[in-house]
Chains A and B, each alone.
Chain A
Amino acid sequence: MSRQSRQVSRRGFLKGSGAVMGGLVLSTWLPGFIPDSVAAEATAAGRLGDQTPRGYGAYVRVGHDGKVTVISPKIEMGQGAHTGIAMMLAEELEVRLADVSVEDAPPDAELYTDSIMQFQATGGSTSTRHAWQPLREAGATARLLLIQAAAQRWSVDPAQCEAREGVVYGPGDRQAGYGELVDLASTLPLPASITLKTPDQFRLIGTPARRIDTPNKVNGKAKFTIDLQVPDMLVASSLACPVYGGTLKSVDASAARQVPGVRDVVTLDNAVAVTATNYWACQQGLKALKIEWDLGENASISSPELDAALQKASSADGVVAHSSGDVAAALEAASSRFEAVYEQAFLSHSPLEPMTCVAHVRPDGCDLWVGTQVPVFAQQTAASITGLKPEQVVVHNQLIGGAFGRRLDYDFIAQAVAIARQVSYPIKLIWSREEDMTHDMYRPHYVDRLTAALDADGKPQGWQHRIAGASVLARYVGSLPASGVDADAVEVAIDPLYALDSLQVNYIREEPKVIPVSWWRGVGPLRSTLAVECFIDELAHNAGKDPVDYRLALMDKHPRAQAVLKLAAEKADWQTPLPVGQGRGIAVSAVFGSFVATVVELEMQADKGIRIKRLVSAIDCGLVTNPTSVLAQIEGGTLFGLSASLFNEITIEQGQVQQRNFNTYRQLRIGEAPGVEVHIVPSTESPGGVGETGTALIGPALLNALAAASGERLRRLPLSRAGYFPV
């Protein structure tokens, strides 16, 4: 198996990798991990005083062969994180990208906690933003130490030495490869200060680089969790109660045990699993089971009543998430009011690789081979199920076949562990597509209700924004803060780009109970952006103004947002008139630390066929590490959002999810996928996230374009609900 690393205690990990790899393991300098003598000396000299707990050494190893390994705090799920992170390190370490290999970080909350999300995770478009500072610092620190070592060896001033492509050059013909210097370097104290390059000094960052993980993804060699084989492993597949919250009453497994290849039938509180020599035998075994479920109290719930409850909630007051100025007074005094209600559906993640996890539980330990966005949680959950200590659980992170937020949850890991502890061999749990889709953790169904106070020119004086829906944050961390506000759900809504004298945002938590909710690419900002950007567009039309001009007039405080709005409009030929039946829609937002605007140009047919003619995006995501990845993320993120906006909605009938596979939860196909023209604004601002920005903008741009083309204002996604379809 590739990418398999032995993980022991952190101290052991560092020592162990030193022994295996040889060479410079910078973790040596982490507080608490340095040899006592060195620590005493260093502390006396004040050298370690200001070290952050995020030690440099957590990120880099240099071998005797000069090869560099970057320990990536972010996993690779198609977003190019591994390549971007390797580039940041290579830039400051002065090595070629080709000489850097990437290893996923083990679970270690102390070392790898995301500075934005506050736990060790890959998600929230944080990879570049989080890694930017520490990875470059780690590279620079290692470079300075290697230069120092060379200078010492040659008895010259370090200022006379320079590092290039893994070699230190000194006065005269002196030169030494990093590999020769690591032993000496690893005995030196940390540099007192480091100076990072300024953007004009970059030679790698900002250039289009080939992704380092792709060659094995075009020849079948790359291994995802579903592809792993460990010795003595059997495949497992499961059926959980079709109603969330229900339990297993009884099962007759006699026929299942007769299926050739089937080894064991394992029961859990709410599921049955079959282990077998192959996946197909597992499925045959599952089919042969006679299961009786206790469907529980959710079995009577269906979508119409959930819809009605949410509609009702959207007029309630909930809690005030934000209040500035006096909205009530503004509405009272307004020359007119404008109200609109937007609705967004429950969504499944449905990554193409269904949920998978390899687990081996023994009396003295547990190994997990799984692609996870949250390795610490994976470790903790396995420990609590097995009664083992967290350090007895080893997480071997893997490539992920798409996640979109799904692998921020670890329910499937918990299930794999619960099955594995009942058998004596490792299992590879593979959910069928049906199991995956009906036992997802879903993007909540939301209703946004906005009421604006307008002056005589139709300009907003203020607005009230009510957001009703389930709280992902509460489900994920267990509760909301005392304020009762879900900070994710109200993001963007409480801080719109538009100058308003008064703004009130109410958050009304309404839990569906019948299905669990979770993070979905774009999270809260996606929902808020749809509501705000459709609403402002409606206000512009109501005032008889051009939607771009109307927005710009309210955006004085946001020059970067103004710039992308103007750029997208210009590149999309916004001013050029279109024939009847065609229209353009625009949306702009400040999300995930970036500024993005998207224009959709489309043609409407009488039969509700929609032909998207152009899709244009402008993004200012600050300093770009790898433009190739930015383009791919905007393209992919936009079309991912388009697919959901056009087609996707999870509905419930008697407690059960009705969509079971890609025939009833259909996805955008190549013939329906327009090209995406992406324009990146050159910038030296600190990097913003990109993975979710495109997804957040396409929905409102699409609805606004539809209104421009047809005059019909749709306020609910997906469009298929209203009979629209792509042509």
Chain B
Amino acid sequence: MIQLSVNGERYELDVPADMPLLWVVRDVLGLTGTKFGCGIAQCGACTVHLDGEAVRSCVLPVGAVAGRAVTTIEAVGESALGSQVQQAWLEHEVVQCGYCQSGQIMSATALLQRQPNPSDAEIDAGMAGNICRCATYTRIRAAIKDVGKGDQA
């Protein structure tokens, strides 16, 4: 039995310890907002927060996160910052197909948590792990900067 805390809910799950967190979240808990894109930590579609840090859940064995707090896209909007990021995403009309955007929003929120007003270079570094095949990068940058500004004001 593995003890897990996801979006504030506690679970006791009978899953193998080496099963990646991504598939526990998607296929066992039914939280499908977190996406699968590559399975090898290359694309960022599966990004979730582990104690507030952005991690790639496709390569994270569920056994390694027992007892730590996992947050997914479904609950990121419960924090003021997460909801600000989602709002900025809508205002800048960032989304195209949308498949990568859960991961983008999770990475952006973690970045803004660390660096409330990130420079271009910090955005490049903080978002480097997230591929967008629709190439919405210009608007992702603009949306992140907007939230950054909002925080300072």
Contact = CB atoms under 8 A, between A and B. Distances in A.
Interface of A: 77-80, 210-211, 213-215, 217-224, 226-227, 229, 235, 260, 277-280, 350-354, 399-404, 430, 432-433, 628, 632, 635-640, 642-643, 661-663, 667-671, 673, 675-676
Closest 6 CB pairs of A and B: A220-B33, A401-B99, A78-B97, A217-B98, A671-B124, A639-B135
Interface of B is mostly: loop
A559 to B, nearest CB: 30
Given A223-B32, A640-B135, A670 B127 contact: yes
Given A280-B23, A433-B39, A353 B99 contact: yes
B64 interface: no
B42 interface: yes
A337 to B, nearest CB: 39
A662 B42 CA distance: 6
B63 interface: no
28 contacts: A79-B96, A211-B95, A213-B98, A217-B98, A217-B101, A218-B89, A218-B98, A220-B72, A220-B102, A277-B27, A278-B27, A351-B99, A354-B36, A401-B99, A402-B96, A402-B99, A402-B134, A430-B36, A632-B96, A632-B136, A635-B135, A639-B137, A640-B135, A668-B135, A669-B137, A670-B130, A670-B137, A673-B137
Given A218-B89, A401-B97, A643 B135 contact: yes
B147 interface: no
A175 to B, nearest CB: 34
Interface in B127-153: 127-128, 130-141
Contacts of B31: 220
B105 to A, nearest CB: 6
A226 B74 CA distance: 17
B133 A226 contact: no
A218 B101 contact: yes
Contact of A636 (B27, B125, B136): B136
A279 B27 contact: yes
A671 B72 CA distance: 25
Interface string B109-133: 0000000000000011101101111
A637 B138 CA distance: 12
B49 interface: no
A400 B135 contact: no
A277 B30 CA distance: 12
A635 B142 CA distance: 13
Nearest to A676: B138
Nearest to A635: B138
Nearest to A433: B38
Contacts of A224: 35, 99
B98 A78 contact: yes
Nearest to B96: A78
A109 to B, nearest CB: 26
B27 A632 contact: no
Given A220-B102, A663-B40, A351 B97 contact: yes
A226 B35 contact: yes
Nearest to A371: B97
Given A220-B102, A399-B98, A636-B96, A663 B42 contact: yes
Nearest to A400: B97
Given A211-B93, A217-B101, A673-B137, A260 B16 contact: yes
Contact of B40 (A79, A279, A661, A675): A661
Interface of A is mostly: loop
Contacts of A80: 96
Contacts of B27: 235, 277-280
Nearest to A643: B135
A352 B135 CA distance: 11
Given A401-B97, A433-B40, A673-B135, 14 more contacts: A78-B98, A218-B86, A220-B73, A220-B102, A277-B27, A278-B23, A279-B27, A351-B99, A401-B99, A402-B97, A635-B138, A639-B135, A662-B42, A670-B127
A432 to B, nearest CB: 6
Contacts of A636: 96, 134-136
Contact of A219 (B23, B77, B135): B77
Contact of B128 (A350, A632, A671): A671
Interface string B13-37: 0001001100100111011111111
A235 B26 CA distance: 12
Contacts of B137: 639, 668-670, 673
Contacts of B70: none
Contacts of A671: 124-125, 127-128
B93 A670 contact: no
Most buried by B among A222, A223, A628: A222
A669 B131 contact: yes
Contacts of A433: 37-40
A631 to B, nearest CB: 8
A214 B95 contact: yes
A352 B98 CA distance: 10
B34 A220 contact: yes
A642 B135 CA distance: 10
A670 B32 CA distance: 25
Contacts of A221: 33, 74
A432 B39 contact: yes
B54 interface: no
A79 B134 CA distance: 9
Contacts of B97: 77-78, 351-353, 399-403
A642 B97 CA distance: 19
Contacts of A430: 36
Contact of B133 (A214, A219, A352, A399): A352
A352 B43 contact: yes
A78 B95 CA distance: 7
B65 to A, nearest CB: 15
Most buried by A among B72, B73, B136: B136
Contacts of A632: 93, 96, 136, 139
Contacts of A404: 133
Nearest to A631: B93
B6 interface: no
A226 B100 CA distance: 13
